[in-house]
Amino acid sequence: MRAGGGPVRRGSGAVGRLAAAAALAGILAVTPGLSASADDAPGAVDSAGQDQAGIPATTAPAPTPTLGGAGYGTNGGFGGAATFAPVPIDPSLVPDPPVNKDLPEQVDEKGPFEQQVSCDPEDRPGVTAFALLVSEHYDRPTFFGSRPCIDYASFHHDGRALDWPLNVWDHSDVQIADAVILWLTGNDGEMANRFGIEYLIWNGLIWSQERGWQYYTGNPHTDHIHFSFTWDGAEMRTSWWTGVAVTQPDLGPCDVIPWQYAPLHTVPRVDPCPVEDAPAAPSTGIGRVRPGESGAGVSMLQKLLDLPETGVLDGTTRAALLDWQSEHHVPMTGVADDFTYAVALGWDLAPLPDAALGVARKAWQTSEFTPYLRTTLTEGEQGKAVKVLQTAIGAEPDGSFGPRTAKALARWEKSVPVLAEQAQRRGDGPAVVTPLTWLLLERAVHPTMAVRDVQLERGSLDLSADPEGVLAAETDAEGRAGSPYAGGAVRLLQQLLGVDADGSFGPQTEKAVEKLQKSADLEPTGVVDGPTWVALEKVAQQEGRLEEAPGAAAAREARVKAEKVKAEKKAAKEKKAKEAAAEKARERAAAVAGID
């Protein structure tokens, strides 16, 4: 990272990491879903503050379990302290772990345990990226992620879990598994936190940051390693992918209505869930239907949504249902639940608390890519999403995903190794834009998107600027105490501002922020918030401190070409007009000469 000088290129420092996001992973692919045995989900906490293995909880007690609603019951848990004894590792069989040379000094904060309370069986980008990183690096390419929701709690049910097949009885597999686990859990779990790994299960043992190694009471996991991820890890917001450590962990969705799933989680939440009594759901007696399931009530909803009445809550129905739930201000669960049925039947319901509707997305958390981040787009399709893709990658925005768009997409994918591998694994099939493609494209076009939730002000510090903790304990001339370490975000801010990037938010940085805010018609508070990051991104790209978006050059060329064509047409028109005027003048002269 550097201040001033030429633009910071993708893959060079934190700015580059923000632009390319998962480029350091080197690979990514989409792997079919899972049909393996049930596992995972330890740590469900009952009202007495005990997990299901009877071990005292290390976090605050969760709400009273709503069994049969969000499925708090689990299939295993912590069974008492244990010791991990890895097998000897043969370096000729097992390579050294992946290396990321651009990590910040500060390690990500993990936050409290957040059980699965929403039904959202869609693979999250951070899970898939980690899966492909390790599966390619260790030449074990198969992995499995999300599963349909059933009546027990599992991170697989909200897209935050990964199963990586390795067999404890295979001498190569067991060495790979133990080597990966040593890498992740060593140094107080540093790498696990940098990926946002909540816990892992392998060979009858479970590891978490809070408890260390314990015996696992469920499926022994001798044929695969199970990984569960925090919300930040699942959404690729951790330092391995962004270069900025998480300092305010995402706490996930709020489960506030008994017997109902929580709304889908798409925006980080850092405030506690409300503790007041939750409203009861209406009792329609129709019965709940989850994604992939069938039920009579689904046909009613499909008729309402003007869809074929199959009675199955398939992907198309679920997407339409989510939009309908949002429009009618009921929890966006993607589930045919009591609130959905009640509103569909025309019942009058009392307003719900904000927590029941999920975290509202602010303007600065939104981009042209937001509507498509959870969708898959395939060559041959048409529409607005295609235009957004084409504009971003510099293809002609005609709304048709044809060969030219596929070629432009492939050209950009090759510049991002993680996407190049995704394309390679796809083979000769049609071009596909996956949720991870959308995420990385959004971060390439809007490089600050991954850090816009980070708020900075005078006194904010990076660990690199204060390794001994001296400045953090001091107060400034106004008596303001130093802020908690910012995970590397101060240095990134300073780079984009073009000031000395020392990692300490002092008067010079504050003055530069105020100047930026004034130029962007923002209140000059000197405090960096979401709108300020947006304005800073625009200026940094204009002034060459941040590499421009993938399609910017093509768009610029298109504008130049269009302006050239326009100028040529104007010149031709003017020439034609002059020629016509000259011809009329000649005709008038000839007419005068004939009279004389």
* pLDDT tens digit at each of 596 positions of the chain: 322 333 333 333 444 444 333 333 333 333 333 233 345 655 433 222 223 332 233 333 333 333 333 444 456 788 899 999 999 999 999 999 999 999 999 999 999 999 999 999 999 999 989 998 999 899 999 999 999 999 889 999 999 999 999 999 999 999 999 999 999 999 999 999 999 999 999 999 999 999 999 999 988 999 999 999 999 999 999 999 999 999 999 999 998 888 899 999 999 999 998 877 777 889 998 989 999 999 989 999 999 999 999 999 999 999 999 999 999 999 999 999 999 999 999 999 888 888 889 999 999 999 999 999 999 999 999 999 999 999 999 999 999 999 999 999 999 999 887 788 888 888 899 999 999 999 999 999 999 999 999 999 999 999 999 988 887 777 655 665 556 899 999 999 999 999 999 999 999 999 999 999 999 999 999 999 999 999 999 999 999 998 888 877 666 666 666 677 787 788 888 888 888 888 888 888 778 777 65
Q: Quick one: pLDDT at residue 5?
A: 32
Pair of tokens at residue 124: 């999250």
Residue-level pLDDT at 555? 64
Q: What integer pLDDT is reported at residue 21 of this predicted model? A: 34
Q: What is the pLDDT at residue 411?
A: 94
CB 244, CB 451: distance < 8 Å: yes
pLDDT given for residue 557 in this prediction: 67
Are the C-beta atoms of residues 253 and 62 closer than 8 Å to each other? Answer: no
- What pLDDT score does 105 carry? 94
Q: Quote the CA–CA distance of 489 and 328 in Å, as a whole number.
A: 38
Reported pTM:
0.83
pLDDT confidence of residue 559? 60
Q: What pLDDT is stored for residue 223 in this prediction?
A: 97
CATH of 370-450, one of 1.20.1440, 3.30.70, 1.10.101, 1.10.10: 1.10.101
Look up residue 89 and give its two tokens: 């590792």
Q: What is the pLDDT of residue 567?
A: 78
pLDDT of residue 235: 96
**pLDDT of res. 343:** 94
215: nearest Cα among 80, 58, 53: 80
Two domains, one topology: 370-450 and 456-528: yes
The reported pLDDT for the residue numbered 113 is: 93
Q: Give the per-residue pLDDT at 30.
A: 32
Contacts of 20 (CB under 8 A, 6+ apart): 10, 11, 416, 440, 443, 444
Q: Which ranges in 46-170 belong to alpha helices (H)?
A: 125-137
Of 393, 290, 233, whose CA–CA distance to 68 is shortest? 290
Domain layout of the chain by residue ranges: 61-242, 296-352, 370-450, 456-528
Cα dist. 293→78, 287, 320 in Å? 32, 12, 16
CATH class name, domain 456-528:
mainly alpha
